Chains A and B, each alone.
Chain A
Amino acid sequence: MSEAPAATAAAATAAAAAVGHMPASELSVDLHAGFVKRQSEDTDTIEYVLTEHLRMSGVYWGLTGMHLLGRLDDMDGDGIVAWVMTCWHGCGGFGGSEGHDPHVLYTLSAVQVLALYNRMDLLDRDAIARYVASLQLPDGSFTGDEWGEVDTRFSYCALSCCKLIGRMEAINVEKAMEYIASCKNFDGGFGCTPGGESHAGQIFTCVGALAIGGGLQHVDADLLGWWLCERQVKAGGLNGRPEKLPDVCYSWWVLSSLSILKRLHWIDQGALARFILRCQDPQKGGISDRPNDEPDVYHTFFGVAGLSLMGFPGLKAVDPVYALPTEVVQRLGLYE
C-alpha cells in the first residue's frame, strides 16, 4: 500500500490541516492545567498512594503535558527538581520515588524532567551512563534493573537516556539495534521480547529506539504502518491491539510511531482528534482513557501530546521519538 511521494505529501498536508483548523477552545486548557496541578498536590488519595512506585514517570507525564499546554510555570519547578534528586542512587540510577530502588524506567523519567527544566547540570552523566551500560546483556537487550527482567521498553529507556545525556558511546548501540530487530514479528510489529505479541506500546518503544540508534531500516514501514492504522476504530479512537477498546494513550503510542514512519496521514486524524476531545472531563478537567471514565495525569499527557502531534492549535510542538517538547529536543541538540 505504498503511495507515490507527491500523493503522500498532499495527503499529509490535508490531514494536518483538518486538525489544525479545529477551534482551539475545544480543548479546555485551563481545566486540564488545574487538574494536573491538583493531582500533584492531593497526596492523601488512594490514586496518589497506589502510584508512588512510578511517581517519577508521573511527574514526567504531568510536566511535559503542562509544557505542551503552555502552563509549565504553574508548577513548582525548583521543588520538583530537588525532589527528583532525592531519588538518585549513587550507582547511577533513579528510583520511582524517594527510597525506591533504581530502575531504568525512572532513570529516563528523571533525566527527562531535568531536561524540561534545563537542569541537566545536576546530573552525574558518567555515573548514569555506567548504570545504563551495566544493564545491557550480551545479546544487546537491556534489563530494567539488577534483577534481570528484559523488555524492549528498557531498550528504549536506555537509548533515550544515553542520547539525552550525550553518552551513546557507553552502550553497544549496534547490538541494541540487532536485539530490537530480533523482536520484529510477521505483522511488522514488535513485542516485549523476541516472539512477543505485537503491542502498540511496545511498537513505539522499538520504533523509537531504532530511530535513536539509527536502525530504522529494520522496520518494514508499509507493513507496520498498515498494522498501526488498523488500530483506529469506528469511534475514531485508537486501540493497542486487535479487538481491544480504544484508549487515549494509544493516541500517542500509535501516532508517534506513524509519525516516525512518516505515515501519520494513514489514519483519520480528524476523527481521532474528536475522540480525544470527547475524553475530556468537563468538570474536573483532565483526560481519561475513553469518554466518561475517570481522568488521570497519564491520559491527560498522552491526549494532549497526540493532539499536538496532529497540529491542534494552541499547543507546543512535541517530538515523536523522545516524547519531549520539540524546543527541549532542539535545545539539547539531539538531531545535530
Chain B
Amino acid sequence: QHLLLCCAPGGAKMGPAEVRRMAVGSGAEPSSVAVALAVELDAALAADPLVDEIAFLPSASPDDVFGPPSRGGHPPGVVVTSVVMPGAFLLAEHKLAVAVYALVPLYTFAASALHRARVAARNAAGVFATDEWELGMDPETGVDVFRLLLLVNGDHTTAWNGRKRRVLRRLTAAAAPAHDAPADATSSCRLDDVSHRAAVVELRFAEMVLSKYPKAQSCWAHRRWVLTRVLGVGGNMLRGGGGDGGGREDDDNAAVAEAAALTVDAAAVDVAKRGGNNTKKRSATAATLFAEEARVAERAAQQRRLNYAAWAHRRWCARGHGSDIEGNPPSSSSSPSSSLSSSPKSGQQFQGMLSSVELGAELERAATRVRRNVSDYCGLHYRQALMRQSPGSSSGHGGGSDGGCGDEGSWDWAAEAALTAELIQRYPGREALWAHRR
C-alpha cells in the first residue's frame, strides 16, 4: 500500500541516510464515495451494538440477498442499506452483509484515516491530539477506524492493539476519582461498571469478527487479553489497589440488584468483579465466562473443522482453579481440599474459569463430542488436556462412564482405552482415534 515512488539511479549502493530519505509513504487516497460509504457503515454499526455475524457476498442488495420481495423472503424488521453505493452493505436482524466490491474502498478509507491520525498525533503542533489516534476515531469523519479495519481484516493486529489501548484509556479514566468525590468507593464502582461494559463490547465484537474469520489468531488473543486484563481471569484484577474484597458487603448487594437489570453475561461479570473472595459467586461467574468462551470456540470449530486457534483457546480457558498457568494440577501431593480451594498459595496461582466440578461436566461434553466427531483430533486432544488436568485426589469428579477418576485416585485409563477401542472398531481407519489411543 505505501509504495515507494522512486528508485536510486545507476545501481550505486545507497547509504542509510539515503534510504530513509527515499522512503515516502504514498498510500492510495480513498474516493469521496468510499469516505461516504465508510461513514454510512460506521453509523449503521454504531446504531446496532448487537451485530453478531458478518459475511462478504457478491452483492448485498436486499433483492440479491433475500430474493424478490414478492417471494416473501425479506425480513420483517428494519433493513439498513447503503445510499451512496447501493448494494454495498446490508444490515438486518443483527447480521451484516458487505459486498465484496466494497471491501477495497472501505479498507482504503480506513487505512488512510489511520495514517492521517498517526501523522497528526506525531505533529507536535497538530490540531489532532494523541487522543484521536489512541481512541481510533477519525478526526475528520468520526468513523471508528479500528472497527472498520477489523471488519475487513479480522487479523489486523494493530487494530486489535488499538482497541486494547482504547479500553485501557477508558479504564484509567474511570479509575481516576472525580475531584470532589470521596476516596475509593465511587471510583471503584465506576471502574467496575466501565470494566464490565468494556469487556462485553470487546467480546461481542470479537465474536462478530470470528463469524467471518474463525481462525484469526490476533482475534483469539484479544479475547484472552480481555479475559485476563479486564475481567481478572488469572487473578490480575484491574484495579487501583490489590483488589481485596474486604468490607464491601453493602456494595455487593447493591451491585447484584443493579446487575440484575443488565444482560446475563454483563451481570455475571459484574458479580465477578465484586465477588472478592466469595468463592461461590466467583465460581458461578467463572462458569458463565467459560460457557461463553466454549460456545464461541465451538461455533468457530464448526465453521472450520480442526480449527487450531479455536481449540487452543478453549484449552486455555479450561485451565482451572488450583492448577498452574498451564493447567497442570498442583504438583504437591493432592489433599482433598487443594483442588477445590480457591485460596491463593504461594507462587503463581491461576484462578481460572473451570472448577473441578465443572471440569467433570466438561469432560462429559468432550466425550459426547468425540463420539460425534471421530476424525476430529482437536476434540480428542482437548479431552487429553482435560484428563491431564483432573486432580489425582479423590475429590476429583471425572464424571460418567466415559472415563473418570476412580476411587483409588488415578485417571481411569482402562475406561478411556475402552472408549477408543469401541470407536476404532466402529469407525475403522480413523487416524485421529489411533493417535488418541497412543
Q: Which residues of B contact A85 (CB under 8 A)?
A: 19-20, 23
Q: B77 near A: Cβ within 8 Å? A: no
A14 to chain B, nearest CB (A): 28
B153 with A49: CB separation less than 8 A? yes
Binds A, one of B46-54, B240-248, B361-369, B375-383: B375-383
Q: B7 near A: Cβ within 8 Å? A: yes
How long is the Cα–Cα vector from A197 to B307 in the complex, in angstroms? 11
Q: B370 near A: Cβ within 8 Å? A: no
| A227 to B, closest residue via Cβ | B435
Q: B207 near A: Cβ within 8 Å? A: no
Q: A24 near B: Cβ within 8 Å? A: no
Instruction: Mark contacts of B311-334 with chain A using CB atoms, 8 A cut-off: 1 yes-contact digit, 0 otherwise.
Output: 110011000000000110000000
How long is the Cα–Cα vector from A192 to B16 in the complex, in angstroms? 37
How long is the Cα–Cα vector from A60 to B207 in the complex, in angstroms? 32
Q: Which residues of A contact B3 (CB under 8 A)?
A: 43, 79, 83
Q: B33 near A: Cβ within 8 Å? A: no
B1 with A76: CB separation less than 8 A? no
Binds A, one of B87-95, B111-119, B274-282: B111-119
Q: Which residues of A contact B224 (CB under 8 A)?
A: 149
Q: Which residues of B contact A149 (CB under 8 A)?
A: 221, 224-225
B100 to chain A, nearest CB (A): 7
Instruction: Mark contacts of A216-246 with chain B using CB atoms, 8 A cut-off: 1 yes-contact digit, 0 otherwise.
Output: 0000000000000010000000000111100
Q: How many A-B residue pairs have CB under 8 A?
A: 135
How long is the Cα–Cα vector from A328 to B382 in the complex, in angstroms? 41
Binds B, one of A93-101, A256-264, A275-283, A302-310: A93-101
Q: Please judge, given known A-B contacts A82-B23, A186-B438, A192-B312, whether A197 and B377 are in contact too, CB under 8 Å.
A: yes
Q: Please judge, given known A-B contacts A99-B114, A192-B312, whether A46 and B100 are in contact too, CB under 8 Å.
A: yes
Q: B155 near A: Cβ within 8 Å? A: yes
Q: Which residues of B contact A147 (CB under 8 A)?
A: 161, 164, 221, 225
B115 with A81: CB separation less than 8 A? no
How long is the Cα–Cα vector from A53 to B306 in the complex, in angstroms? 25
Q: B431 near A: Cβ within 8 Å? A: yes
Of residues 417 through 438 on chain B, the ones whose CB sits less than 8 Å from some CB of chain A are: 430-432, 435, 438
Q: Which residues of B contact A86 (CB under 8 A)?
A: 2, 23, 25
How long is the Cα–Cα vector from A86 to B27 in the complex, in angstroms? 13
B388 with A101: CB separation less than 8 A? no
Q: A26 near B: Cβ within 8 Å? A: no
Pick the contact of A187: B308, B311, B312, B438 (CB < 8 A).
B438
Q: A25 near B: Cβ within 8 Å? A: no
B interface residues, how many (CB within 8 angstroms): 55
How long is the Cα–Cα vector from A78 to B12 in the complex, in angstroms? 10
Q: Which residues of A contact B38 (CB under 8 A)?
A: none
Q: B104 near A: Cβ within 8 Å? A: yes
Pick the contact of A242: B108, B114, B316, B432 (CB < 8 A).
B432
How long is the Cα–Cα vector from A1 to B8 in the complex, in angstroms? 57
Q: A214 near B: Cβ within 8 Å? A: no
Q: B290 near A: Cβ within 8 Å? A: no
Of residues 3 through 19 on chain B, the ones whose CB sits less than 8 Å from some CB of chain A are: 3-4, 7-8, 14, 16, 19
How long is the Cα–Cα vector from A103 to B158 in the complex, in angstroms? 10
B153 with A53: CB separation less than 8 A? yes
| B103 to A, closest residue via Cβ | A46
Of residues 68 through 82 on chain A, the ones whose CB sits less than 8 Å from some CB of chain B are: 76, 78-79, 81-82
| B311 to A, closest residue via Cβ | A197
Q: Which residues of B contact A194 (CB under 8 A)?
A: 326
Q: B239 near A: Cβ within 8 Å? A: no
Q: Which residues of A contact B34 (CB under 8 A)?
A: none
Q: A2 near B: Cβ within 8 Å? A: no
Q: Which residues of A contact B211 (CB under 8 A)?
A: none
How long is the Cα–Cα vector from A98 to B111 in the complex, in angstroms? 10
Q: Which residues of A contact B16 (CB under 8 A)?
A: 121-122
Q: B82 near A: Cβ within 8 Å? A: no
How long is the Cα–Cα vector from A35 to B242 in the complex, in angstroms? 57
Interface centre among B225, B430, B432, B435 (most CB of A within 10 A): B435
Q: Which residues of A contact B20 (CB under 8 A)?
A: 82, 85
Instruction: Mark contacts of B290-320 with chain A using CB atoms, 8 A cut-off: 1 yes-contact digit, 0 otherwise.
Output: 0000000000000000101001100110000
B105 to chain A, nearest CB (A): 10
A43 with B19: CB separation less than 8 A? no
Q: A193 near B: Cβ within 8 Å? A: yes
How long is the Cα–Cα vector from A95 to B375 in the complex, in angstroms? 38
B158 with A241: CB separation less than 8 A? no
The 10 closest A-B pairs by CB, nearest first: A149-B221, A197-B381, A242-B431, A98-B2, A82-B23, A86-B23, A79-B4, A100-B158, A82-B22, A101-B158
Q: Which residues of A contact B (CB under 8 A)?
A: 43-46, 48-50, 52-55, 76, 78-79, 81-83, 85-86, 95-101, 103, 121-122, 145, 147-149, 186-187, 191-197, 199, 230, 241-244
Since A49-B153, A76-B7 are in contact, a sample of 10 more A-B pairs with Cβ atoms closer than 8 Å, ordered by chain A residue number, is A49-B107, A52-B156, A76-B4, A79-B3, A85-B19, A86-B25, A99-B115, A192-B312, A193-B312, A195-B385
